[in-house]
A and B are shown apart, each in its own frame.
Chain A
Amino acid sequence: QVQLQESGPGLVKPSETLSLTCTVSGGSINSYYLYWIRQPAGKGLEWIGRLYSSVSTDYNPSLKSRVTMSVDTSKNQFSLKLRSVTAADTAVYYCARDDKGIAVSAVFWGQGALVTVSS
């Protein structure tokens, strides 16, 4: 079974860069869409962006100027960097992957990583 696990600092200072890594086990990240999605406490889901096999990326227009996603196929990992963070970026961050034959959907999810932006 495909499993995903987010990792990274749980506390980031304002104006600094949030960095998270998603490690995928039980399956490949090659030729799949890889997603980052976040959820502020008590609020709804927000799509951050997706990447495909380091070939292409699509980002939420509202975050595009601050986001970079990348993949390390040798480690079966992909990463998220969000620059110049503010308190509004405090959220649970999820990584996810699609599956063959299931388009534009996050099929496999990580458990989520809480990132708090505070000095």
Chain B
Amino acid sequence: QSALTQPASVSGSPGQSITISCTGTSSDVGGYNYVSWYQQHPGKAPKLMIYEVTNRPSGVPDRFSGSKSGSTASLTISGLQAEDEADYYCSSYTSSSTVVFGGGTKLTVL
């Protein structure tokens, strides 16, 4: 299974909005509404931010939102804050009953 495609890096200033894309195929992102997004700060375990494309777990700020169009999912962070600076990974269920991650995106808050 091939990793989902994410931009290597994105950046934004505090208060702005950014969007991270996650592109797969009809066998993963495009075929199922099981896309998740994880945030990972250096030296820490990942944290689930979005599940099933658009849902936020309890405790995740509503500044974080997810969407999907075709085989591309997106994570949008609005009202960017300094603590949002981290690596972000998408993942998707696949037609092989497995899960595949994206390569990760480093978010820099300027």
Contact = CB atoms under 8 A, between A and B. Distances in A.
Interface of A: 35, 37, 44-47, 49-50, 58-62, 94, 99, 102-107, 109-112
Contact of A44 (B1, B36, B99, B102): B102
B86 interface: no
Interface string B21-49: 00000000000001010101000011110
Given A58-B98, A61-B98, A111-B45, A45 B51 contact: no
A111 B41 CA distance: 12
A105 B36 contact: yes
Interface string B55-97: 1010000000000000000000000000000000101010011
Given A61-B1, A104-B34, A104-B36, A45 B98 contact: no
B98 A59 contact: yes
Contact of B89 (A45, A50, A62, A99): A45
A60 B45 CA distance: 20
A44 B45 CA distance: 12
Interface of B: 1, 3, 34, 36, 38, 40, 45-48, 51-52, 55, 57, 89, 91, 93, 96-104
B93 to A, nearest CB: 5
A45 B34 contact: no
Contacts of A110: 45
Contacts of B3: 44
Contacts of A105: 34, 36, 48, 51-52, 91
A47 B99 contact: yes
Contacts of A99: 57
B101 A107 contact: no
Nearest to A111: B45
Contact of A106 (B46, B55, B103): B46
A18 B28 CA distance: 30
